[in-house]
Amino acid sequence: MDKLVSIVLPVYNGEKYLAQSIESVLNQTYKNFELIIVNDCSTDSSEEIILKYKSQDDRIVYIKNEANSKLPKSLNNGFAIAKGEYFTWTSDDNMYHIDAIDTMVGFMEQHTDVGLVYCDFNMINEEGEFKYKVTVGNPEEQKYKNTIGACFLYRRSVAENVGDYDTSLFLVEDYEYWLRISLSYRISPLHMCLYDYRWHNDSLTLTRSTEVEQSVARLHWKYLTEYEKSDMPENELFEYLDFLMKYCNQQSERIRIKLKFSLKHKKYVIRELRKLFSRIKSK
């Protein structure tokens, strides 16, 4: 028997594209799933749309937050009642390709040493027209940028081990969660395009880009101690340093060269990184 997949769909005023998002789940070739829709106190017609689909398909589970709680709390509320052996979540403005869940479950069943799989996806515009394809990065790059993207699947056992999404990290809750997973489990890219990510004027990525950038910087600061304890290879450490300095608009070639030749002294490197992020932490 196919293993149950729990798909959480957080919704906040998503009436414009919500029906398309729900239908992309219901139309999956993989049939053994539960769709847990979490309404974060929407004030538009989202609830009406949700109830319409729930009345037509008993695989839909509907819960409504008592107060507007934002994305990470909505995810935690949804997964708290999830029954599946595999977990994933999607957004109210994005869509799965018809074979997305089937393909990812098949990959995970064949690769039992993988804790999380993530896939390529298409960027589409407001009208749903193709813009370009996004090829996800390698697992090693996850240390300094979010390579996982929008289409992924992970094991229930992984979620039970790493815990909930951090409600204090709104806007980067997903990236922080992937970092936590990647510290303890093997993550693997699957270079098949299985998802449509919609770029539109009301998306969080666009409307709060400055906040996202600051939150990502703080997240890197938080994980410095984890990398300090880990046995990161020198080439990966320099790539991480190089990225962070560019991220902080630190363009000094002299400093970059100095750090590059100091990689064997990890304590020095970490100290320099802390200097870079001291101003961010104090904000």
What one-letter code names the amino acid at 242?
D
Closest CA to 73 of 58, 63, 83: 63
Helix (H, G, I), strand (E, B) or coil at 219: helix
Nearest-5° Cα angle at 224, 282 to 211: 45
| Per-domain residue ranges of the chain | 5-200, 209-281
Residues 6+ apart with CB under 8 A from 208: 171
CATH top-level class of 5-200: alpha beta
Sequential pLDDT tens for the chain (283 residues)? 599 999 999 999 999 999 999 999 999 999 999 999 999 999 999 999 999 999 999 999 999 999 999 999 999 999 999 999 999 999 999 999 999 999 999 999 999 999 999 999 999 999 999 999 999 999 988 877 789 999 999 999 999 999 999 998 888 899 999 999 998 999 999 999 999 999 876 655 555 666 766 777 677 767 766 666 666 666 666 666 666 666 555 545 555 555 555 545 556 666 666 666 665 555 5
Q: How many Cβ atoms from other residues are within 10 Å of residue 119's Cβ?
A: 25
